[in-house]
A = this chain, B = another copy of it.
Amino acid sequence: MGKTGGIDLGGTKIQAAVMDENHTAIGSARCPTPASEGPEATAAAMAKMLRDAASAAGVEVSELDGVGIGTPGEMEGDGVVANVVNIVDWKDPFPLAATVGEALGGVEVKVGNDVDVATWGEFKLGAGQPFDSVLGVFWGTGVGGGIVLNGELWGGRGSAGEIGHMVVEIDGRKCGCGRRGCLEAYAGRRSMEAHAKHLVEKGHKTKLFEIAEKKGKDHVTSGVIASALKKHDRMAANLLEEALQMLAVTMASAGNLLDVDAIVLGGGMGTRFGPVYLEELKTLMRPHEFAVEPPQVVVAGLGDLGGAVGASLLIDATTATPAAR
């Protein structure tokens, strides 16, 4: 097994990395997702980030054994992806693997579900390594989940792991998915931002948007939230507290159903706030956990680059690649 590439297509950013023979990232690159420009522009940006990551690693793209992509949307087989809801004009099937592969000079490209590959990465290389069964919770722009049971990914009929759309409050806050009361409606970064806007319109005060502007960010990113917390911004603190409470209840419920060895908390928000608030999260989970010894809760070990590292495992013939489609 040689060097591999991995690309994580997120709702907010694209991250690419090049891994050495031991799956260690030796170069990486990132850019905002051109979500308003459609699939062609997104594929071009993904290829560019992979080339930048290779350049940072001092590796030619043509040297790579292949490149794995973790993406949202529906896998239609042969690297074709449809219904990526966060990106405009990406309802119809788009040949993502072929397009990125061509832009990279013909290197082999495989595509897998973003959350599945991230969960698999944590299971094989990250915080999930000590365990046989793991629920991966990816707390970022949205809230996604992946399930490994007895060392194998459980994908259901193609859409298992949707912990972000478990109901945490009946008839509760409107979710981006159109339903009400989903976990994601409270804990997803995009929903938190939308709720902050709503509160500002109602006359509440916050430094969140001012900080975002100063940082040159289009969005209230996890970094913006972290800065606001440092400035004792009340709204930011309330939003994060609510997100943690809703995450705790839903993670406890999912644990009661699945009784996995461990829950691995990752994603942009999870890797930033997880290490700081892990004990609080566990304390908030405790009143809702049924088993005498509930699942362990650990923060993702591969950090924010985990999605790209996990995606690169789609190429590795020595690890099962259950998410390649």
Query: How far is A259 from B154 in the complex, measured between Cα atoms in Å?
Result: 9
Asked whether B287 lies within 8 Å of A180 as measured between CB atoms, the reply is yes
> Chain B contacts of A177 at CB under 8 A?
290
Number of copies: 2
Q: Residue-by-residue, is A150-162 near B (CB-CB < 8 Å gives 1, otherwise 0)?
A: 0000111111111
Which residues of A (259-277) have their CB < 8 Å from a CB of B? 259-261
Does A60 count as interface, using CB distance less than 8 angstroms?
no
Tell me if A320 counts as interface (CB < 8 A to partner B).
no
For this complex, into which size category does the number of interface residues on chain A fall? Answer: 35 or more
From B156, B253, B290, B293, give the contact of A260 (CB < 8 A).
B156
DSSP majority for the A interface? loop
Q: CB of A317 within 8 A of chain B?
A: no
Inter-chain contact B162/A256, CB cutoff 8 Å: yes
Q: A80 CA to B234 CA in the complex, in Å?
A: 55
Find the B residue at minimum CB distance from A175: B290
Is A145 close to B, CB under 8 A?
yes
In this assembly, does A252 line the interface, its C-beta being within 8 Å of a C-beta of chain B?
Answer: yes
User: Are A160 and B288 within 8 A (Cβ)?
Assistant: no
- A155-B259, A261-B157 known; A290 vs B179 contact (CB < 8 Å): yes
Known contacts A167-B288, A168-B170, A170-B168: does B258 contact A159 (CB below 8 Å)?
Answer: no
A residues contacting B by CB (< 8 A) are 133, 145, 147, 149, 154-163, 165-170, 177, 179-181, 245, 249-250, 252-254, 256-261, 287-288, 290-291, 293
Q: A159-B259, A162-B290, A162-B291 are in contact. List 10 more A-B contacts (CB 8 A).
A: A154-B258, A156-B258, A157-B260, A161-B259, A163-B256, A166-B253, A170-B249, A177-B290, A179-B290, A257-B258
